[in-house]
């Protein structure tokens, strides 16, 4: 259950300026490299083949950042800035951080409409099921990221949280 349902931290627009000045392709390239490292075993085992020749767009709405990723030849890469994406994910930075730190699962975030999808429903289900099945505890890269996220999320909530009607 979503235990912080009444707090919706939103990154102030002013703080997003440095990230918004960088080209979207650079953002996408950095995320692709990170995913290639963290998900190396899964890529090598072909568990991401369901994404072949597909483009996924991840929108961090409050930060104004859009990532476009493709998956070809067993690797993530930055997707083209134009053209349609097979799947579009929308959410706030905070909600993506909750998902990445595993403090909330995708089902809860989607149920409470804090993460939203558009596009190919089947691809969306594959992505969600893949995320649910990940055993990231074995990844040394993920362990460092998760530890940092777990300790920084309360600070993020305190600085940028605002209460909403329950």
**Residue 8: inside a domain, yes or no?**
no
Distance from C-alpha of 62 to C-alpha of 156, rounded to nearest angstrom: 14
Angle made by CA atoms 119, 123, 127, in degrees to the nearest 5: 120
**Residue with the two structure tokens 């289900």:** 125
pLDDT digits (tens, 9 = 90+) for 4-63: 455 678 788 788 887 778 888 898 999 999 999 888 989 999 999 999 999 999 999 998
**Torsion region of 143: left, alpha or beta (phi above 0 gives left; psi -120 to 50 gives alpha):** alpha
The answer to whether the pTM exceeds 0.75 is: yes
**What pLDDT was estimated at residue 7?**
65
**Mean pLDDT, rounded, for 66-77:** 95
**Residue 153: inside a domain, yes or no?**
yes
What's the domain count of the chain? 1
pLDDT digits (tens, 9 = 90+) for 94-149: 998 888 888 888 888 888 889 999 999 999 999 988 888 877 676 677 777 777 88
- CATH number, domain with residue 134: 3.30.1050.10
**What pLDDT was estimated at residue 1?**
42
**Residue 103: inside a domain, yes or no?**
yes
**Residue 111: inside a domain, yes or no?**
yes
**Residue 166: inside a domain, yes or no?**
no
User: Residue 152 belongs to what domain range?
Assistant: 13-159
Supply 149's token pair: 């996220």
**What pLDDT was estimated at residue 163?**
47
**Residue 1: inside a domain, yes or no?**
no
- Residue 163, judged by CB atoms within 10 A of its CB (0-12, 13-18, 19+), counts as exposed
**Torsion region of 119: left, alpha or beta (phi above 0 gives left; psi -120 to 50 gives alpha):** left
**Residue 78: inside a domain, yes or no?**
yes
């Amino acid at each position: 259950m979503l235990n912080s349902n009444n707090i919706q931290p939103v990154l102030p627009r002013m703080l997003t300026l440095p990230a918004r000045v960088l080209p979207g392709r650079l953002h996408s390239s950095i995320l692709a490299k990170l995913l290639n490292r963290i998900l190396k075993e899964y890529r090598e085992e072909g568990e991401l083949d369901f994404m072949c020749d597909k483009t996924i767009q991840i929108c961090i709405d409050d930060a104004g950042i859009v990532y476009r990723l493709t998956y070809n030849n067993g690797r993530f890469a930055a997707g083209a800035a134009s053209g349609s994406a097979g799947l579009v994910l929308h959410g706030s930075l905070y909600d993506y951080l909750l998902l990445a730190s595993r403090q909330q699962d995708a089902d809860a975030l989607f149920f409470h409409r804090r993460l939203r999808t558009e596009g190919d429903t089947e691809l969306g289900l594959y992505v969600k099921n893949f995320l649910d099945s990940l055993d990231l505890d074995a990844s040394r890269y993920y362990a460092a990221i998760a530890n940092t996220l777990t300790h920084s999320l309360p600070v993020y909530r305190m600085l940028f949280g605002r209460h909403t009607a329950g």
